[in-house]
């Protein structure tokens, strides 16, 4: 199987409610995701897909929904949550609400659902995503067939 990999990066803040250390406080990351794609056959240029398609589709979604915003668990009890959401709205940036604490594992799982939906119309299958939350900490999602 041949795959192509496109790296996408963005900045966002989050916190992990009930975390036993520093991550229970609001903080930011320079996230990076490596999107691994395959297709049943290569295109007329010999590619799985043009890297620009991944950037436009998935990167565009990230720019709109995750870049320079907060990824927040629905129902986060921190009193600052409402203020952060209101401040972001006033600056034209949404808060992205997620069902679970926004750990690297939860964020990569969310990204997998989104990337698969966005790239499927292009005949591309997302088979793996590695999400870097820090330079030395990552989580990975792998497709099951």
Reply yes or no on whether the pLDDT at 145 is more than 80.
Answer: no
Beta strands in the chain (DSSP E): 4-14, 27-38, 69-73, 95-98, 125-134, 137-142
What is the arithmetic mean of pLDDT over 122-142?
97
Residue 45's pLDDT is 96
The tally of domains found in the chain comes to 1
Residue 133 backbone class (left: φ over 0; alpha: ψ -120 to 50; beta: rest): alpha
User: Which domain does 45 fall in, by range?
Assistant: 4-142
Residue 14's pLDDT is 98
Q: How far is the C-alpha of 33 from the C-alpha of 85, rounded, in Å?
A: 25
Catalytic annotation, residues: 23, 68, 133
Contact 108, 129 (CB under 8 A): yes
pLDDT digits over 23-72, tens only?
Answer: 999 999 999 999 999 999 999 999 999 999 999 999 999 999 999 999 99
**pTM of the full structure:** 0.95
> What is the percent of the chain with per-residue pLDDT over 90, rounded to a whole number?
98
Q: How far is the C-alpha of 114 from the C-alpha of 108, rounded, in Å?
A: 10
Residue 117's pLDDT is 98
Mean pLDDT in the chain? 97
The 10 Å Cβ neighbour count of residue 77 is 8
CATH of the domain at 138: 3.30.479.10
């Amino acid at each position: 199987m041949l795959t192509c990999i496109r790296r996408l990066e963005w900045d966002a803040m989050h916190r992990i409610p009930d975390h036993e250390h520093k991550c229970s406080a609001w903080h930011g990351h320079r996230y990076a995701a490596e999107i691994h794609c395959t297709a049943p056959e290569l295109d007329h240029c010999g590619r799985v897909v043009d890297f620009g398609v991944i950037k436009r589709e998935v990167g565009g979604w990230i720019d709109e929904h995750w870049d320079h915003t907060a990824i927040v668990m629905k129902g986060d009890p921190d009193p600052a949550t409402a203020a952060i959401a209101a401040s972001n709205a006033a600056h034209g940036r949404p808060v992205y609400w997620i069902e679970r604490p926004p750990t690297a594992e939860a964020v990569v799982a969310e990204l997998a659902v989104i990337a698969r939906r966005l790239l499927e119309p292009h005949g591309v299958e997302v088979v793996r995503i590695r999400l870097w939350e820090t330079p030395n900490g990552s989580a990975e999602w792998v497709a099951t067939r």
